[in-house]
Structure 1
Amino acid sequence: MPPAHYRADEHVAASDLHPSQRPAFSLGNRLARLAWNITAALLFRTSPRPMHAWRAFLLRCFGARLGKGVHVYPKAKVWAPWNLDCADYAGIGDGTDIYNPAPMHFGEFCVVSQDSFVCGATHDYNDPDFPLLAFEMSIGARAWICARACVAPGVQVGEGAVLGLASVATRDLEPWTVYGGTPAVALKPRKQIRSSKAADAGGRLD
């Protein structure tokens, strides 16, 4: 596992509260997430599926960096839009949970399918204070996280890698390799795709 991008006990002052009850983020962060959650409930999740430009606009209003043609579907959950970085034509499907307390990068034409979970944080269970640890993560260009699959904290997904249905990635995924299982293991190579025809289909989950 790489070094943590964010460690709660280095950013949030100690208090009289038990460590398990202390906030892991600053007041400003919590207020920003409250504002985003209200916006998401009222304007994002209620939008019709084809309104990708509207949802992209809302995410950008909260600091997301999105390339052209990015499709984030209305039932997707994004924990912190300001930590979301999507290259051109990335797709994030309905029911996907993007837990990104640290920056999370999605490469061009990558697809994160329905009900998958990309988890960007855990806790230091060897520390009695149990501080939250958040990791910067990347899903490579043309990678595919299949439906109901999970990517564990700190895992980096290489370009063109495939994580199969309901699989759990606990280690980095090599480029252009198909993985499956819990924990996921390499199953076979994937043919490298770089044609414009593949690009035209990127990011579409309809």
Structure 2
Amino acid sequence: MEPSDGDVPVVDLSAAPGEHAAWDRPKSVIYLWSALELLVVYNPWQVSSSLRVKVLRLFGAEIGDGVLFRPRTRVKFPWKLHIGDRSWIGEGVWFHNQDHVYIGSDAVVSQDTFLTTGSHAHRRDMALITSPITIEDGAWITSRCVVLGGAHVGRSSLITPLSVIKGDIPANVIAGGNPLTVSGQRFRTSDV
């Protein structure tokens, strides 16, 4: 028998753990980063990818050589961002990285993709739960995807637009949708 509306529990959000659960730096660093993110990283008028990368590195991001970082990008905590060499980060990508995000070399994260490492204990007290994201070398996350905490995208896989990515995605596949399904291989033996 289904419970009536009055019997369904509600989490008292006033008692939920605070939004600062993922802060692992002093307030002054968090606030300074917020200002510089807005002025340099997110700013659509700021055209220099190398300046964005320098500011991210200044705040602890590990970013390899030759990385292209387009405007309107957001990074919650740069010290939890790790990107290999020659990778491309498209315009409007949002790293809501309350946990670490690892992106390999020669990988692409395309326009308006949202990567979030956090969720909440929705049946308990709405406490923050985090899990890292890993995107292997050569993978391509196309535009407007959502990458959830705990996702692991295999080497050279291609994820089609508007997909929700969670769990383990094998290497060298083309996958997409919600739920995500594999539709083929990205590279065949004859391509290599």
Question: TM-score normalised to the size of structure 2?
Answer: 0.84
Q: Secondary structure at the match of 2:38?
A: helix
2:143 aligns to what?
Answer: 147
Is residue 125 of structure 2 the alignment partner of residue 129 of structure 1?
yes
Is residue 168 of structure 2 the alignment partner of residue 172 of structure 1?
yes
1:117 aligns to what?
Answer: 114
Is residue 31 of structure 2 the alignment partner of residue 34 of structure 1?
yes
Greater share of residues in strand: 2
1:48 aligns to what?
Answer: 46
CA change 1:192–1:152 in 2 (3 A) is farther
Q: How large is the Cα RMSD of the aligned pairs?
A: 2.1
Q: Structure 2 counterpart of 1:145, which letter? A: I
Q: C-alpha distance in 2, partners of 1:25/1:150? A: 20
Offset of residue 69 of structure 1: 0.4
CA change 1:22–1:136 in 2 (3 A) is closer
CA change 1:26–1:84 in 2 (3 A) is closer
Q: Secondary structure at the match of 1:36?
A: helix
Note the alpha carbon deviations across 1:22-76, whole angstroms, 9 max, x for none: 6423483554332111012123333533x12111100011000111001111211
1:5 aligns to what?
Answer: none
Aligned residue-pair number = 176
Question: TM-score normalised to the size of structure 1?
Answer: 0.78
Q: Does the 8 Å CA contact 2:17/2:128 hold for their aligned counterparts?
A: no
Q: Structure 2 counterpart of 1:70, which letter? A: V
Identity of aligned residues (%): 27
CA change 1:27–1:52 in 2 (3 A) is closer
Offset of residue 169 of structure 1: 1.4
Q: Does the 8 Å CA contact 2:70/2:91 hold for their aligned counterparts?
A: yes
Note the alpha carbon deviations across 1:63-93, whole angstroms, 9 max, x for none: 0011100111121111110001110011111
1:96 aligns to what?
Answer: 93
1:82 aligns to what?
Answer: 79
2:153 aligns to what?
Answer: 157
CA change 1:180–1:25 in 2 (3 A) is closer
Offset of residue 139 of structure 1: 0.6
Q: Does the 8 Å CA contact 2:154/2:168 hold for their aligned counterparts?
A: yes
1:6 aligns to what?
Answer: none
Q: Structure 2 counterpart of 1:105, which letter? A: Y
Q: Structure 2 counterpart of 1:144, which letter? A: W
Offset of residue 117 of structure 1: 0.9
Uncovered stretches (5+) of structure 1, i.e. residues with no partner: 1-16, 196-206
Q: C-alpha distance in 1, partners of 2:62/2:19? A: 30
Offset of residue 184 of structure 1: 1.0
1:68 aligns to what?
Answer: 65
1:18 aligns to what?
Answer: 15
Relative contact order (alpha carbons < 8 A, sep ≥ 6): 1 or 2 greater? 1
CA change 1:18–1:110 in 2 (3 A) is same
